[in-house]
Amino acid sequence: MARNLISVVDVDESIRRTTKLLIESFGFHAAAFESAESYLNSDGVHDTACLIVDLRMPGMDGLELQKRLAMAGCKVPIVFTTVSEDEDARGRAMQAGAVAFLGKPFSDDQLLRTIRSALKDESEFPKLISIVDDDESVRRTTKLLIESFGFRAAVFESAGDLLDSDSLNMTSCLIADVHMPGMDGLELQSHLAAMGRSLPIIFITAYDSKESRRRAMQAGAIAFLGKPFSDEQLLQTIQSALEIDNSSTKTP
């Protein structure tokens, strides 16, 4: 199992289900458990990169689970969730090394930021692939495909939407349509370069143009993929792009 497993322990079935789906939408693998005991008896303990646990549960509660894991030498980052704020419990949990306390209900953004904080080792956090395409069906299918590879994906229907989003600074690879209304893919590439944003770019197009291909590749594009492209084509191209991104981030 992948090491970026996020385990959720909560007695409430609806919370387990919705939190698991939310975590999977971030690009992680997720596993849900109805009790601390069922989690401890599972194979997921050794694969968990971050544990999200309810504070109050029948039997072994969240604080007891935290203590049991510490005694076993398991240093997994723990995020506590709770409906009832308890300053004493918060103090005990944080003193014992908890990453955060989230009150229920929590927002998608709160959970994502907390997981990012828990996974201080960036290698544990799936890379974000951003997709810019004016075709809704292409955005949807490409996003699902990228998530099936184990990456996170964000979609935008225009270059302007990407440039205005917080996702731009987190993007490790950009997949952009060449021909779009308003700012097209080549103009987006030039705009990013002018911003000093050296982002690996994969162009996709239904209308291949030798001139557009030449300009894009000369400006540093990773590849030109004709629509429709195969799953294998896209995966190999993304892997090549991420190797370049990793190299650039390690350069002093």
Best CA proximity match to 46, nearest among 67, 72, 80: 72
Spacing of C-alpha 197 from chain mean position: 20
Distances in Å between the Cα of 49 and the Cα atoms of 44, 45, 67, 213, 244 are: 10, 9, 17, 41, 26
Phi, psi of 89, deg, nearest 5: -65, -40
Question: Given 90, 123, 156, which residue is the final one in a domain?
Answer: 123
Question: Given 98, 123, 148, which residue is the final one in a domain?
Answer: 123
Residues 44, 225: Cα–Cα separation, whole Å: 38
Residues 139 and 216 in one domain: yes
Residues 131 and 240 in one domain: yes
Q: Find the Cα–Cα–Cα–Cα dihedral 32, 37, 42, 45, rounded to 10°.
A: 80
pTM of the predicted structure, to 2 decimals: 0.56
Residues 201 and 236 in one domain: yes
Report the domain count for the chain.
2
Residues 80 and 145 in one domain: no
Domain range for 151: 127-250
Residues 23 and 118 in one domain: yes
CATH code at 66? 3.40.50.2300
Render each residue's pLDDT in the chain as its tens digit; 252 residues: 345 689 999 999 999 999 999 988 887 889 999 999 999 999 889 889 999 999 999 999 999 999 999 998 888 999 999 988 778 888 888 888 888 888 888 888 888 888 888 887 545 566 789 999 999 999 999 998 988 887 888 999 999 999 998 788 889 999 999 999 999 999 999 999 999 888 999 999 998 889 999 999 999 999 999 999 999 999 999 998 988 755 554 444
